[in-house]
Amino acid sequence: MLALNHSDLTLRVGSIAVLCIYSAVVLLLAGILLLRFIRLAKERRRRNVTEIWRPLLAQCVVEVPETLPALKSRDHLVFLYLWNHCYESVRGDARTLLNELARRTKTDQFAKELLRSGRLRRQLLAIVTLGHLQERSVWNELEGTLQADNAFLSLVAAKALLNIDAQAAIPLLIPVISRRKDWSPLKVVAMFEAVGADLAAETIAKAACLAAPEIGARLIRHLAATQSQYGLPPLRALLRENSPSDDVLAACLFLFGECSDPRDMATVRAHMSHPTWYVRLQAASALGKMGVEEDEALLIGLLDDEHWWVRYRAAEALSNLPWMTADKMTRLCGALSTIEAHEHMLPFMAQSNVRKADSLPTAPPERDTL
């Protein structure tokens, strides 16, 4: 037994310590049990809400029933996850019906409360929901969220603004895109998918023109993913009217090569002798994609460039030219005057010979991103 009243002080202190440890263990166990109980109760509630609302949401993509079960406020969060998932799984009229369901269950009101809750996960859910609902009343709050320190939160807000009113959102977004270093250009391109590739390309190009070189160059490179030519006019104007940095220039040349618009041929040719090696490199790569027969000489000239990568890309570009056959490459290789030029052509000539031997359709050699 514990000797709490024992005359020996050491024994008394020891007994008190043992009692404290026992109490702490019991409290800890009780805490663990309580947390487990809360978690199970939450899980049970989530399951119940899912069982009721999942089939109802499926039904709502076809028609919204006249009577709906009551939705308790503590269940609304689970409902929001289900509703958003369902919304993103359908398109067309089904989304209008889901919006009707959301308004009838006062989901718009609930989402507005979540937006002001100050908890990140809830704010994200609220912003996504309000974007889907095209809720104009939160426009100013979403616009303010564009400046949030959290990049993900601000990107989600940008997407919601685009969902609510793309035409009004774009002028707001252009300066933000050009300023935010933490926004992934890939995410920016994906964000604009919903509003259409052409509008996306034009907006991103305009943002790139305003941006600092390191942001602008990244945005321009990713413009190729939109597969739209609408991004080209602002960039042509930028090259014509300003003197952009070498990074931006190289990115523009990369994009010109990807888009292969003959109107950009003169610009590409003009940069074949640029003092910066990576500008020459991008000009060579672009010419390999869009060049005509008279450009062959320009590319052959770059085989003697002082920089290894430029020589390599020039050789690759030559091998990519649509009229370049294995025999023609062999003849070209034989006529080269320097060892460097010859060495760079050899692997591409070998590839070309293998393709010829296998009678495979001519596919360009794999490119890396430089």
Partner 1 sequence: MTSTKGSPGLTILMVENKEDTACLLEFVLQKNGYRVIHSNNGSQAKSLISAMDPPDAVLLDMTLPDTTGLDLLDYLRTQTRWQTTPVALLTTNVESLDSVRAAGLGVNDYILKPVSPTRLAMRVNRLLADSKRKQPRVA
**Contact call for residue 190 and partner 1 (CB under 8 A):** no
**Residue number with CB closer to partner 1 (9 or 360):** 360
Straight-line distance from the first to the last Cα atom of the chain, in angstroms, rounded to the nearest whole number: 78
The two three-digit tokens of residue 145, written as one number:
């969220």
Rule CB under 8 A: is residue 189 a binding residue for partner 1?
no
- Please pick, from the candidates 93, 113, 165, 193, the single residue that binds partner 1 as defined by CB under 8 A: 93
Smallest gap from residue 86 Cβ to partner 1 (A): 6
Distance between CA atoms of residues 115 and 127, nearest Å: 7
Rank residues 58 and 370 by Cβ distance to partner 1 and give the closer one: 58
The continuous run of DSSP H or E covering 217 comes out as: helix 213-223
Judged by CB under 8 A, the residue of 88, 100, 165, 261 near partner 1 is: 88
Q: How many CB atoms lie within 10 A of CB 49?
A: 21
Provide, rounded to whole angstroms, the least separation between the CB of residue 275 and partner 1: 39
Tell me if 96 contacts partner 1 by CB under 8 A: no
Q: Which two tokens stand for residue 177?
A: 């895109």
Q: Which residue among 30, 39, 72, 89 contacts partner 1 (CB under 8 A)?
A: 89
Q: Is residue 195 part of the contact set for partner 1 (CB under 8 A)?
A: no
Spell out the SS3 assignment of 95-124.
HHHHHHHHHHCCHHHHHHHHHCCCCHHHHH
CA–CA dist 158, 154 (Å, integer): 6
Binding marks (x or -) toward partner 1, 25..64, rule CB under 8 A?
-----------------------------xx-xxx-xxx-
Q: How far is the CB of 85 from partner 1 (least distance, A)?
A: 5
> Within 13 Å of residue 252, how many CA atoms lie on the same side as its CB?
27
Site for partner 1 in 261-320 (CB under 8 A): none
Q: Which of 184, 159, 189, 187 is nearest to 172 (CA)?
A: 159
Residue with token string 């933490």? 182
Q: Where do we find the tokens 């990140």?
A: 120
| Between 96 and 137, CB nearer to partner 1 | 96
CA–CA separation, 101 and 266 (whole Å) = 57
Total residues contacting partner 1 by CB under 8 A comes to: 18
- For position 363 contacting partner 1 by CB under 8 A, the verdict is no
Q: How far is the CB of 147 from partner 1 (least distance, A)?
A: 31
Structure-token pair, residue 132:
């889907």
And the tokens for 78? 């689970």
Q: Contact between 186 and partner 1 (CB under 8 A)?
A: no
Does residue 69 bind partner 1 (CB under 8 A)? no
344, 312 in Cβ contact below 8 A?
yes
Q: How far is the CB of 61 from partner 1 (least distance, A)?
A: 5
CA distance 191 to 339: 49
List the x/- string, 221-260, binding to partner 1 by CB under 8 A: ----------------------------------------
Q: How far is the CB of 295 from partner 1 (least distance, A)?
A: 30
State the residues that interact with partner 1 by CB under 8 A. 54-55, 57-59, 61-63, 82, 85-86, 88-94
